[in-house]
Amino acid sequence: MSSLTIFYAILFYLATVVLVGGVAFKIYVYSRTPSPLRIPTMPAPMTQSGMVARMAREVVLFQSLFKSNKWIWIFGWMFHFGLLLVLLRHLRYFTQPVWSWVVLIQPFGRYAAFAMLAGLLGLWARRFLVDRVRYISTPSDHLMLALLVAIGASGSAMSFLVHTDIISLKAFMLGLMTFDWQPLPADPLLLIHLALVALLMIIFPVSKLLHAPGVFFSPTRNQIDDSREARHVAPWAAQLDK
């Protein structure tokens, strides 16, 4: 077993623990924190199913962003749905036999990488070209885009230009999942791609990427317009009644 394989195996275990543990912890914090007053952005749905539909429109269609700014919406949507397809395509490296729908989406998943990259570059361009967005951008905002672009570019390069030993990679990944380690091919492009993905996983729970779980907990979006019919007294607020 090469030290390279051992390093990457440990890196991925660590990254997975940080990602899952970190996000789970944040979700625990969000769900434990009370909402003492109803603050949905009105007009808001008056039923639970209406709220679920509103949230679905936010998460799938980026409804509010669409109302706000068509450029950010186009680039943001291209990136996120490109990424989604790319991620789903990657399931083939973690399943044996590969699920039939994953086989089906392979070509879409491959080309979705371009949508993803175009979206990222569009969003990045705004950080330079729009003075208001330039003002609010921090170094981490640029680095996050750089990281995602590098992951997308290195992945696409392996898919379209310099193929890597995909059979061995899959054996390595399946091995990680069954704790039966298999050698990782020492292809520089692959090593870069995997290292950056692990880095992204580690950064996720301590960065603005928390917007992914956060949006589901956003009180202005997930609350129902029912304040005249129902009380919503938080435990700490109930103490004030005594």
How many residues make contact with another protein (CB under 8 A)? Answer: 64
Residues 142, 58, 37: CA angle, nearest 5 degrees: 100
Q: Tell the smallest beta-carbon distance from residue 235 to another protein (Å).
A: 10
From the list 84-92, 104-112, 175-183, 222-230, the region that binds another protein by CB under 8 A is 222-230
From the list 6-14, 154-162, 183-191, 203-211, the region that binds another protein by CB under 8 A is 203-211
**Separation of alpha carbons 135 and 137, rounded Å:** 6
Contacting residue, 3, 49, 100, 136, with another protein by CB under 8 A: 136
Contacting residue, 97, 180, 211, 239, with another protein by CB under 8 A: 211
- Nearest Cα residue to 123 out of 26, 208, 213, 12: 208
Q: Tell the smallest beta-carbon distance from residue 14 to another protein (Å).
A: 15
Report yes or no: 103 and 92 within 8 Å, Cβ to Cβ.
yes
- Nearest Cα residue to 58 out of 47, 48, 73, 46: 73
Per DSSP, helices labelled H in 90-165 are: 100-104, 106-129, 131-136, 139-160
- Nearest Cα residue to 73 out of 64, 86, 85: 64
Considering the complex, state which of residue 165 and residue 225 has its C-beta at the smaller distance from another protein: 225
Length of the chain: 242
Q: Tell the smallest beta-carbon distance from residue 119 to another protein (Å).
A: 12
Contacting residue, 11, 16, 38, 111, with another protein by CB under 8 A: 38
Residues 6+ apart with CB under 8 A from 43: 225
Is residue 68 a contact residue for another protein (CB under 8 A)? yes
Backbone dihedral angles phi then psi of residue 110, each to the nearest 5 degrees: -65, -50
Considering the complex, state which of residue 68 and residue 95 has its C-beta at the smaller distance from another protein: 68
What residue ranges bind another protein (CB under 8 A)?
A: 26, 29-30, 33-39, 41-46, 58, 62, 64-65, 67-69, 72, 76, 123, 126, 130-133, 135-141, 143, 206-208, 210-211, 214-215, 217-221, 225, 227-234, 236-237, 240-241
